[in-house]
Structure 1
């Protein structure tokens, strides 16, 4: 996604802005128009490849992520309960301590990556809007392309699968909150 933002920042670099005043059939204007179209075409191709990659990741890892997200709160709750019971007895079970930490990290990683993807995806639209189109007359030649790209960049980049909430840090927080609620309930009834 950083490559897209770099491409947007360099969209108008090295191009002669004076060709905008030339007639449409002028060769110099045609060459600049072709170069602008090629640059925007590459950016759109890169952007589309992000969505294709995320769709592939969703189809491959989606089913396992659904089960992981669905059952993580119960698993984390039970492991934390085991650790707390051992601590109450004056012992510490390293195995359950490491497993509890590992289960939390295993859930946190895809949620963190989902948040990074969402943030970078939003930044692409902002990068397109602030690419300098307002400071060059060349924007007249590609303003429709830029408007369409900005609208396309509004679509969130997220791992999606049936039954799976969007994987974000908010999802992680919600699951951990649920696990803590279950943990407190178990501690109260013991």
Structure 2
């Protein structure tokens, strides 16, 4: 694969997927498959099972239940995103091939600049998320340890207390349980980092291609032709050829959007289906007395959860808007002096572009800012309900 290929921007994602046992390629042997099954069983299957078992044995106290379930729904959302990588690998590779095709690279300096700018934007976005996710994950683990050495306070297990175990067993195997949750948090962090950025990266690529197509249609006029073309008939032939290239490009974009819809549908459903509860539980932490460390961790975690659903909805709304702008771009092209054949082809493109691209999660959650607002309202309603219940109790 060439270094200039668009799919190369996902090299960090693929690297960490391989480390996490989520991505096999033609060089992967049987040993990697065994490693993949064992690793995911240990850090996804058993981790989630023990977390669920912990909640089942958690004392029936609202404050304790909230504290024990803060990261629980995030883990379930992550399971759906892991399933996306493992089960939709064939479609992901198909999308990579489309991103690397000639039509998606840009045909001139202006369109190539649009594509290259997006590649740089995604790389910077991944790096920013990497820093932020590390701050959250390490603060959950490191701050209590620092507090232990400074103030001598007891270090609790970072995620949950495993109430299904007896006190004696927890004390006896405390270091083992702490190490398991410590490494589990790191694995969850890297998994979330590289699946969340991957989903948003696919959306960014689709938006970029619509911007490229918009530019090509908006500049579809005879002035863009070679000045050596004098004959009007030759100009018309070249204009029809340029329009055909735009039609082919548009058809490829639609195919790409269909592929990413198939790839992300279940993961979006899992992410948005648990978002309201996750944000609500995080907000409930502010109702109880907190140390500065707890305030720091909870604030950063809450912002991360909000951003985790805001960015896909924003990009989804941007994708819908850019797909609708194709009609405007086609109308602004130099179509008036063109032939009837040219006008009919352009008219068909405009008719198809009147139906905007909308990415959904199992046709239940749409990536739109209206949906983001609805989730935030639902989260606040649940928060108010729990707050009132806590006051009455």
The answer, yes or no, to whether TM exceeds 0.5 is: yes
d(CA) in 1 for partners of 2:233, 2:341? 10
- Offset of 1:53 from its aligned partner? 1.6
d(CA) in 1 for partners of 2:386, 2:244? 57
d(CA) in 2 for partners of 1:45, 1:154? 17
1:102 equivalent to 2:304? Answer: yes
- Superposed CA offset, 1:162-188 (max 9, x none): 243220111111100110111011111
2:267 is aligned to: 64
d(CA) in 2 for partners of 1:38, 1:160? 35
Determine helix, strand or coil for the equivalent of 2:323.
helix
1:164 is aligned to: 364
2:221 is aligned to: 12
d(CA) in 1 for partners of 2:222, 2:212? 15
1:146 equivalent to 2:355? Answer: no
Contact 1:65 1:164 in 2 (8 A): no
1:22 is aligned to: none
d(CA) in 2 for partners of 1:7, 1:95? 47
- Superposed CA offset, 1:129-164 (max 9, x none): 122324xx2254511111111101112112134243
- Offset of 1:113 from its aligned partner? 0.5
- Offset of 1:9 from its aligned partner? 2.1
d(CA) in 1 for partners of 2:219, 2:276? 46
d(CA) in 1 for partners of 2:339, 2:383? 58
2:254 is aligned to: 51
The higher relative CO (CA closer than 8 Å, separation ≥ 6) is in: 1
1:187 is aligned to: 387
Contact 1:69 1:164 in 2 (8 A): no
Determine helix, strand or coil for the equivalent of 1:133.
coil
- Offset of 1:37 from its aligned partner? 2.0
1:132 is aligned to: 334
d(CA) in 1 for partners of 2:333, 2:233? 22
- Out of 362, 371, 374, the position equivalent to 1:174 is 374
CA 1:61/1:117 → structure 2, altered by over 3 Å: closer, same or farther?
Answer: same
144-153 or 41-50: bigger deviation: 41-50
1:23 is aligned to: none
Unaligned runs of 5+ in 1: 17-27
* TM-score, length of structure 1 as denominator length: 0.83
Determine helix, strand or coil for the equivalent of 2:355.
coil
Q: CA RMSD in A?
A: 2.0
1:20 is aligned to: none
d(CA) in 1 for partners of 2:341, 2:351? 18
Contact 2:268 2:365 in 1 (8 A): no
CA 1:106/1:90 → structure 2, altered by over 3 Å: closer, same or farther?
Answer: closer
Determine helix, strand or coil for the equivalent of 1:131.
coil
Determine helix, strand or coil for the equivalent of 2:365.
coil
d(CA) in 1 for partners of 2:341, 2:232? 10
